[in-house]
Amino acid sequence: MSERNLNNVVYQKIKQMMLNYEITPGQRLTFVDLAEKLGVSRTPVNNALSLLSKEGFLDFTPNQGYTVHQITKEEADQLYEVREILEVGALEKAILHLTPAKIKELEKRESLFKQSVDEKQNRGRFFLDQEFHAYIVEMSENHYLAEYFREVYQRIFLRHRISPLKGDRAVQVPAEHHDIVEAICRRDMEGAKNLLSNHIQHGKQYIYSFIFD
């Protein structure tokens, strides 16, 4: 395997460890432990951590090394703003390009997320929620936009500790997803935009309640 390919494989594996919650916000990382865990030398690990740091997922302190970045309220505000612009902005084209196959796929993703909530999954729920919302963007048939949405989504959710949905929110999130899907299926442009925007704001307020208050 070439050096470039190995660097990319290690980068993807470390990021997947973050997605799986094997690496958590605030955790200090060591080259030796990661290299041993991944079965590679320290060089590709160092290259991967350097890239993740440049992307903002890790913090580097001279003579101390890397720690997983913890999100600030200012960052979160800006990222949520970008997320809403991307997702709500994609809705018009998503509805214009709507097909029975796309409706079926969207309903499938809605169902998978609801199942993860019912089963009280944490990190799995995070991924399924990402893919439900990313597919709304994908339906616009702009795949670059969809990939950028995933990046923004991950910049929000990989930087704080994911906890189970609690109280009313465990019921509200699947219900809000369902209402959004129903509005899209009806090709109700304004209704879908309002529902999606409100859903994003409700999620933001819920997350802020336990990571900033």
User: Which domains are present in the chain?
Assistant: 3-68 (1.10.10.10), 73-211 (1.20.120.530)
CA distance 125 to 93: 27
pTM: 0.82
Angle between the 3-19 and 123-138 helix axes, to the nearest 10 degrees? 110
Identify the H or E element spanning 150.
helix 143-157
Q: Kindly give the confidence (pLDDT) of every residue in the chain, 213 residues in length, as a single tens digit, with 9 standing for 90 and above.
A: 677 788 899 999 998 888 777 888 889 998 889 999 999 999 999 999 999 999 888 999 998 899 998 888 999 999 999 999 999 999 999 999 999 999 999 999 999 999 999 888 766 788 899 999 999 999 999 989 999 999 898 888 776 665 666 778 889 999 999 999 999 999 999 999 999 999 999 999 988 887 776
Residue 140 pLDDT: 96
Write the CB contacts of 29 (distance below 8 Å, at least 6 apart in sequence): 23, 49, 58, 65, 66, 67, 68
CA nearest neighbour of 45 among 83, 10, 1, 90: 10
> What's the gap between Cα 75 and its chain centre?
15
Reduced to 3 states (helix: H, G, I; strand: E, B; else coil), residue 29 is strand
Two tokens, residue 56: 């903002």
Residue 159 pLDDT: 64
Residue 15 pLDDT: 87
CA nearest neighbour of 24 among 122, 113, 112: 122
Residue 124 pLDDT: 76
Residue 54 pLDDT: 92
CA distance 113 to 128: 5
Residue 95 pLDDT: 97
